[in-house]
Structure formats: structure tokens, C-alpha cells
Amino acid sequence: MMNKLIAPSILSADFGRLIEEVNAIKKAGADWIHIDVMDGHFVPNISLGIPIIEALKNITSPPMDIHLMIDNPDERVEDFIKAGDPLVRVITVQYETCKLLHSTISRIKSKGVMAGLALNPLTPLSVLEEIFPYIDLVLVMTVEPGFAGQPFIKSMIPKVRELRNIISKLDNKPIIEVDGGIKLNNIREVAKAGADVFVSGSGIFKTKSYFKTIQAMRKELKRRK
């Protein structure tokens, strides 16, 4: 069983001092840095792009976990991998945006990067059936994608639990990541349901001490009861 990983989402960081923010979460012990890319089409918001990823690479950020919430991601995955090389650990695309899903996943993996597939809250797990053998990570969105600071959708707990049960029976066992509303007061419950990687934006960046928050989260993840 893999170690539980904490991936602060810089969508909630102070963009006026982004380099300081990334250095701070690195020192606080973040495992990955989660980067949300939005194009204003699939979701209404517009966020980080290739220049930001290139800048973060130059300051040696934690390994990059890049989530593409964009239309036609198959046309851009290689650009994002190149921008973050060699720090890109995962490229995740949204199921709802992929016209040629198998091709997109194959293109990501051909570059030596983990391929992830994200599902919106209302997208059923059944869509994963044919793609399970090819993906390295499933990202369960626990809020509607597009904006930071939304409350956690509690009905996603059974979805994570069901996904863990399905994966336990597979030969290929992708990592389960959760994103949206993850905070100190719910991270343990989500972990018990079967999640491996925890994306937290405001749950970390809106606290006074990133170090204390991440350490407290790790303590929750290690609790037996």
C-alpha cells in the first residue's frame, strides 16, 4: 500500500507572492504541488498556464501534479509535460473533455509521466471500465470543478469507497486522488474511504502555518481509530 500523499493546490495561494508560497509548502513537507489549469471553456474560470509551470520548474517546486480542466486536452498534453519537465509527476485530464481518451492517455504515458483521469461529481464510475488498464490515477472531484474554496460534497465518500473496492479487484491498481474541500476536519474520513492523494487548497493556504497544518493532516492520516 502506498504512502498517503498531500498535494497543496496553488489555486488558493497568494499569486502576488507565488514563489514564496511554493517555497513555503515545499519546506512544510508537501509531497506534490497540485496545479489546476483552466481555460474558461470547460469551466468558467481561467487560471494557471504554461508560463507559470515553467517558472515553478525554475525554482524547483515539489513534483508537479497537473490537472487539465480544459477542452481538447489531447492537443496540449505534450506542451504541459515539456513546460514542467523534469518535475511533472502526473498529468490528469477530465473524462468529460476527452474526445479520444485512449489516445490522450497513451500520449501522456509515452512521455514517461503518470496518466490520470478526473471525474466530475456527477460522472459515474462506470465510465472507467474500459480505461482502467491504462491509467495510473483516478481523480475524484469532491466539488464541482472551477473554483477554489467550495465545501466538500459528502456524498462523494461512498463514491471513493466504491472506487477502492473496484480497484482492489483489478490487476492494474491506479492511485485514488481526491480534490475539493479537503481540510483537517475531513481528511481522515476520506482516507478511510480509500483515497491515496489529498489535494487541499484553502485547507492549507488559508491557515496560519502551512507546516503545522500539513503535519496535523499527516497525524490524522496515521490515526487507527
CATH of the domain at 169: 3.20.20.70
Residues of the chain with pLDDT under 70: 1, 224-225
d(CA 70, CA 107): 16
Look up residue 146 and give its three cell numbers: 472551477
Which among 39, 65, 136, 179 is annotated as catalytic?
179
Give the range of the structural domain holding residue 137, as residue numbers without chain letter: 5-222
CA 110 centroid distance within chain = 20
47-53 contact pairs (CB < 8 A, 24+): 47/11, 48/10, 48/11, 50/79, 50/80, 50/83, 52/18, 53/80, 53/83, 53/84
49/169 Cα distance (integer angstroms): 37
65 catalytic residue (yes or no): no
> For residue 142, what pLDDT is reported?
96
Looking at residue 2, its pLDDT comes to 73
Domain count, the chain: 1
pLDDT in tens, 88-125: 999 999 999 998 999 999 999 999 999 999 999 999 99
Catalytic residue selected from 36, 74, 136, 196? 36
Q: What is the pLDDT of residue 225?
A: 57
This prediction has a pTM of 0.95
Whether 179 is catalytic: yes
